[in-house]
Amino acid sequence: MSNSGLPFTASLDLGTVRDRVVEVSVAPSPAERAAIARWLGIEALDSLKAVIQISRSNADEYAYRGHFEADVVQACVITLAPVPAHLSGEIRRKFKVLERPSTRRRKSPIEPSAAIPAIIDLAAADEDSPELLDQAVLDLAAPLLEELSLALDPYPKAPGAAFDAPPEPSAPADNPFAVLEKLKRVPPARRPSAKSSAKPTGGRQPGKKEG
């Protein structure tokens, strides 16, 4: 389990966990809580306490059980006013320490088919599968910080804060271009053709003399 980038760690040597349950109380200092608050992106972490129990379930497998209580302060998503909240939660994890390959030389070479496969089928894993550890040291703070981040309200709101939707804009007055566009859609009125002309009804016709 990688704890790279975490603002707070609490390591436990799993070699001390044998046939009994090891109980550990975790309580970060004020400076560590300030670092955790920055990591979580919240205003403040006023308190954080956890009681964690580690038990050995198999030769190389361990069960992690814990309970935490926290007091946090988040910013209101509407007014940015501080929103305090009390959080609590349970933590359940399983861990397995990977067996280190032996460096002792063997008398007979191992066939490639008998070697450890380089590709692990992750599709066969499920939520109950243990997390793998490359050494017998467990960071107790990593699951705690993960559960704490999931317990935060994604949309904290101060009491009485409400989002007022802006009024819908009134219909704008028609501009000249809009009027021209409307006129293009109106079918033109019938007009007399330029080639057609009215026939004379009387009087002299040009080019003829009166007798």
Mean pLDDT across the chain, nearest whole number? Answer: 80
Question: Among all chains, which residue has been given the structure tokens 């040009």?
Answer: 206
Tell me how far apart the alpha carbons of residues 87 and 151 are, in angstroms, rounded to a whole number: 7
The set of residues, in sequence order, having a beta carbon less than 8 Å from that of 28 and lying 6+ positions away, is 8, 36, 48
CA-CA distance, 155 to 77, in Å (whole number)?
A: 6
The secondary structure of 154-185 as a DSSP string is SS---TT----PPPPPPPPPPPHHHHHHHHHH
* Residues 146-181 pLDDT 10s: 999 999 999 999 998 887 766 776 656 566 666 677
**HSE (CB half, 13 Å, CA atoms) of 155?**
4
Q: Convert the pLDDT of each residue in 71-93 to its tens digit.
A: 999 999 999 999 999 999 999 99
User: How, if at all, do strands 44-56 and 11-13 pair?
Assistant: unpaired
> How many CA atoms does the CB half-sphere of 72 hold within 13 Å?
25
Query: For residues 89 and 70, what is the distance between their CA atoms, to the nearest angstrom?
Result: 9
Q: Is the pLDDT of residue 198 over 90?
A: no
In this prediction, what percent of the chain has a pLDDT beyond 90? 55
How far apart are alpha carbons 38 and 8 in whole angstroms?
12
pTM of the model: 0.66
Residue 49 has pLDDT above 80, yes or no: yes
